Structure 1
Amino acid sequence: MALPPLTLYVHVPWCVRKCPYCDFNSHQAPDSLPEELYLKALEADLEQSLPEIWGRQVHAIFIGGGTPSLLSEGAIDKMLAMFRSRLSVWPDAEITLEANPGTVEANRFSSYAESGINRLSIGIQSFNDHALKKLGRIHDSAQARKAIDIAQRAVPRINLDLMFALPGQTLAECIADANQALSFGTEHLSMYQLTIESQTVFAKYPPELPEDDLSAEMEQTIEQMASQAGFERYEVSAFAKKGARSRHNLNYWEFGDYLGVGPGAHSKISFPDRIIRYARTRNPESWMQGSIARDGSHLSETRSLTAQDLPFEFMLNALRLREGVPLSLYTDRSGLNVATLSRPLQTAIQKGLLFPDPTRFKATQQGWLFLNELQSLFL
């Protein structure tokens, strides 16, 4: 089995405040971030993983969270220098940092760019002040616009994160948000439907969300507007102009490899004879102590994927892509013959969820609308 492309994910766990809809591994930041200790632990975490990826090139780096832009300019500079000194990072690697408007970190964007950040993903969520308050965001629409302006002057590539089907949102309000997002001329948009996740404040105190039919109309309208503005919807939640697809995320969906470092980060690493998933412990303090101790306690899971795991693991990602993937990619990434999928493929085609294409796995429009049902066929 040939080894797939490799990317690096870095998790920064702190936020100014936990949003009520968020189920990511994020924690309210202390008055003073323990940057020095975090970087020391990150270095130890990375160095303990090097034997598993030795000699492999890193095609992209994604620094996510949490709110990575809470880190100082100096911390980001040291972090990227650490990666370059220990990893074989492509000279033109896409290096993304997630950022939130509403705090002074927007003014750090130029310094981040000087350190090597060439893509910013900005968590706008909405340009409607009333909606932002309902979502528990700490910024307003004016701060969002200012952050985008600063980012556009700092880096060549920008993604805007927005949500739709918000509490009480009308179709007109959704259209206004999409129009505002498209007006900036950025190259990439991520548009997510708000869903209620377990273990969140919204799960305990659920807001009233738009009905399914209205949510579907919002989604269709956003896709039409984005298409007219020169965007292609290449993944369920991702829209990009030509040549601007997210390299790191595309590697996820094509079942590539990724090394995840930081609290709660996940890794998928392929070897010639097996694929292993790793997970870091989620608590930031426990992860920092375990990483620095170098005793393995920073890991919460190490699991080899079985032949029974791989069909679902592969399809869970690949079917999210509008174009699907070549059949040959399944064998390249899993080491298994496509014949292992014959029964669920036949069922999916009979249900009209998958095209009967002898060269590609590709969901039909119906398959995209009922993606969970389609993916579950491969369990």
Structure 2
Amino acid sequence: MFEFPPLSLYIHIPWCSKKCGYCDFYSYVSQTSIPEEKYIEHIFKDFEKDLLMINNRIINTIFIGGGTPSLLKKDSIQKLILGIKKRHTILNNAEISIEANPKTLEYKNFIHYKNVGINRLSLGIQTFNSSLLKNIERTYKKKEALDAIIEAKKYYSNLNLDLMYGLPDQLLEDTLEDLKLAIEYNPSHISWYQFTIEPNTVFYRKNIHLPHEELVFQMLLEGEKLLKKSGYKKYEISSYAKINYQCKHNLNYWNFGDYIGIGCSAHGKITQKNGTIIRTIKNKNMHHFLNGNYLHSKHIISREEKIIEYFMNMFRLYQPVFKKHFRKMTYINENTIVEKIKIAQKEGLIINYPNHWYVTKKGKFFLNTLLEIFLS
């Protein structure tokens, strides 16, 4: 019997106060006032168009990301949440997240986010080291970061702190000091991921020097020991949570669930009744978006795309990948990939059990190598 995947909603707010040199996310630097009222009205129209494709399914989670969503006025955030709830059914007690930066003008709004139903806050700390923050062009210092956490803790039991390791000029001691300080404040979730420099960024063109890979690996090993000792369970490559505080929205992505993506440059994945999966990409040109041209592209993903996208997400998780789930989410029988599984098993990247696959420690470390097997 056909069964739709769970459905989430992602809302993209594209403005930032400054574009960091390492950032490859789509964003606008706000030189003047943000046309937030007009943008939100078009967000609603974009949303209404996508609702025609979801077969009236309930939305289970909402994530407001960017850019820097906390740059918007508190009244705009309220209008956004209430407008979404007015237009479609949202699960009772749904996880509703917003990203924020630890700037004074932004964290004064945390109480207002709580009052309009946002129940999960993600703070982009990156590091507490003021010198390293300057290296990566963040616009705040250690004190502001700590003040933001203190303010957030007043209203949110479900609080994520974003931290990075392998920053330019960062030492092992710096990395562990960041984690120790974060753990002192007892957030429910820590996203701790390796700093990388992507093509088409300012840092890539500047050829910024990063720590040697052996040092970065040592940071990972020592940091994971500290997080585990402190009660944080690793459930995804860069995600660590207290019991029952895994990010439900991201888990839906990684379990190959469906999501509507609205706003400039947002991506979506929506399954149809016949098992067809539609990918949507919204227009990244703000002028075009504000003139009602929301959709940049829409296409049906191929059988090969289904397989690689499924494994790209599922192999990130620290849990078995059940063959029944693979069939259910891709509508493809696992017998068609037997030879690729054999190659991955021979390389020691996965273990093939009768009912599920499990990625080995080697497979997690060489995840790109594992995925290339399914791309070939």
TM-score band (shorter)? Answer: over 0.9
Q: Deviations over 1:18-50 (max 9, x none)?
A: 010100011101321111111111011011111
Matched, 1:301 2:302: no
- Match of residue 281 from structure 1: 283
Q: CA deviation at 1:284?
A: 2.3
Secondary structure, aligned partner of 1:176 = helix
Alignment check: 8 A CA contact 1:94 1:119 kept: yes
Matched, 1:330 2:326: yes
Structure 1 residues 313-352: aligned runs within 5 Å? 313-352=309-348
Alignment check: 8 A CA contact 2:104 2:148 kept: no
Structure 1 residues 203-352: aligned runs within 5 Å? 203-273=204-274, 274-290=276-292, 297-352=293-348
Q: CA deviation at 1:324?
A: 3.5
- Match of residue 376 from structure 1: 372
Q: Deviations over 1:139-173 (max 9, x none)?
A: 10100000011111122210000110000111111
Q: Deviations over 1:302-330 (max 9, x none)?
A: 11011121110100100000113211111
Q: CA deviation at 1:220?
A: 1.0
- Match of residue 125 from structure 2: 124
- Match of residue 91 from structure 2: 90
Q: CA deviation at 1:334?
A: 0.8
- Match of residue 293 from structure 1: none
Structure 2: how far apart are the matches of 1:328 and 1:4? 14
- Match of residue 30 from structure 1: 31
Q: Deviations over 1:263-319 (max 9, x none)?
A: 0100000012200000001122222223xxxxxx32111110111211101001000
Q: Deviations over 1:65-85 (max 9, x none)?
A: 000001111111111111111
- Match of residue 72 from structure 2: 71
Structure 1: how far apart are the matches of 2:362 and 2:289? 42
Q: Deviations over 1:184-216 (max 9, x none)?
A: 101100011011101111110022111111101
Secondary structure, aligned partner of 1:199 = coil
Structure 2: how far apart are the matches of 1:131 and 1:163? 11
Of structures 1 and 2, the one scoring higher in RCO (CA 8 A, sep 6+) is 1
The aligned amino acid for 1:346 is: K
Secondary structure, aligned partner of 1:308 = helix
The aligned amino acid for 1:313 is: E
Secondary structure, aligned partner of 2:53 = helix
Alignment check: 8 A CA contact 1:196 1:206 kept: no
Structure 2: how far apart are the matches of 1:341 and 1:284? 42
Q: Which moved more, 1:119-128 or 1:215-224?
A: 215-224
Secondary structure, aligned partner of 1:159 = strand
Question: Normalization by structure 2: what TM-score?
Answer: 0.97
Structure 2: how far apart are the matches of 1:83 and 1:298? 17
List alignment gaps of at least 5 residues for structure 1.
291-296
- Match of residue 13 from structure 1: 14
Structure 2: how far apart are the matches of 1:313 and 1:267? 13
- Match of residue 60 from structure 2: 59
Structure 2: how far apart are the matches of 1:18 and 1:156? 30
Q: Which moved more, 1:67-76 or 1:49-58?
A: 49-58
The aligned amino acid for 2:236 is: E
From 352, 357, 360, the counterpart of 2:356: 360
Structure 2: how far apart are the matches of 1:101 and 1:283? 28
The aligned amino acid for 1:39 is: I
Structure 1: how far apart are the matches of 2:27 and 2:357? 35
Alignment check: 8 A CA contact 2:254 2:313 kept: yes
Count, aligned residues: 373
Structure 1: how far apart are the matches of 2:229 and 2:353? 28
Q: CA deviation at 1:104?
A: 0.5
Alignment check: 8 A CA contact 1:41 1:288 kept: yes
The aligned amino acid for 1:276 is: I
List alignment gaps of at least 5 residues for structure 2.
none
- Match of residue 150 from structure 1: 151
Secondary structure, aligned partner of 1:191 = strand
Alignment check: 8 A CA contact 1:325 1:360 kept: yes
Alignment check: 8 A CA contact 2:81 2:116 kept: yes
Alignment check: 8 A CA contact 2:157 2:188 kept: no
Q: CA deviation at 1:362?
A: 2.0
Structure 2: how far apart are the matches of 1:313 and 1:199? 23
Structure 2: how far apart are the matches of 1:324 and 1:378? 18
